[in-house]
Amino acid sequence: MNARERRIYWNRERNKAARYIAKYRTKFFNALQSDARRFLNAYEESPQAARRFTNDLLTSPQITNTLTQIVREVGVPYARQNFNELRTQKGLGSSLEWIQEIMQYLGLNFYDKGVFRIVQTSRELFVAALNKAVEQGWGYYDMARYIETTLTGINRNRAELIARTEVGRAIHSGSFVGARKSPFAKQKQWIAAKDNRTRGNPVSGQKDKADHWHLDGQVVDFEAKFIDSRSGSELEHPHDPEGKAVDVIRCRCTFAITNKRDEQGRLVRRQLTAFT
């Protein structure tokens, strides 16, 4: 794709992602608020109970369920689409099979960079609240006011960031997994937003630790990786689950996967890997 075609593609994908982000921003906010209410309930019992709650907070059922739902509702459709966008072959696999494939691809990163990272930030916020409570001699209503006036605002901003990151991860991981299972050989192209917010942009991005500006338009075989010349990162795609935070957090890039063709314009087939 040329620059104009990439811009059109990026805008179309951004609009599709925005609908998912709006939905999951609310879900993540509700999940974060649920954990905050659990913390406040423990504090109502005693500051010591709140401390125990914080120390024991290793996971969050609502966060885990929301992340799993994103894989099912966002990742699976993109996997199916990129498995065979020509739709000439049946047997795309059940939703459960695709979920298993995507979860296997994400591996421990689903928890390490998803659930645990989100919960760890919540724990840090709760610890800071407890320390402030001790310093200022807060009672229950003081803590409740802090949760409502301060932590709620923080959680609202966090929910936006989490939704953008996790929806992007599901879209691109689903696309990658689907294409990897396809019967056709493929190639992929990196597509950046190409604006002042893009990492490495000429106007304000010279201090960025990554450079997605110059990744824009890079085409590689599907089996190869994109290389960020500034960070040195080798990425399967935007929001690569193995990617560093400097390449992933707040990234708005996308990528396009296309079938490869021979000199006669015919699709190049490769051996299809069965679901495992």
Predicted confidence (pLDDT) per residue in 111-151, tens digit:
988 899 999 999 999 999 999 999 999 999 999 999 999 99
Residue 198: which domain range? 3-259
DSSP secondary structure string, 232-266?
A: --EESSTT-TTS-HHHHTT---EEEEEE-B-TTSP
168 within 8 A of 20, measured Cβ to Cβ: no
pTM above 0.75, yes or no: yes
For 125, counting Cβ atoms within 10 Å of its Cβ (0-12 exposed, 13-18 middle, 19+ buried), the class is: buried
- The three-point CA angle 240-243-249 to 5° equals 90
- The three-point CA angle 148-113-186 to 5° equals 130
The stretches in the chain having pLDDT less than 70 are 85-93, 271-276
Residue 172 located in a structural domain: yes
Residue 268 located in a structural domain: no
Residue 272 located in a structural domain: no
Amino acid at 99: I
Residue 270 located in a structural domain: no
Residue 208 located in a structural domain: yes
Number of domains the chain is built from: 1
Predicted confidence (pLDDT) per residue in 67-91, tens digit:
999 999 999 999 998 887 544 444 4
pLDDT at residue number 21: 96
* Helix boundaries (H) for the chain: 3-45, 47-56, 61-70, 76-83, 95-106, 109-110, 116-136, 140-146, 152-180, 245-248
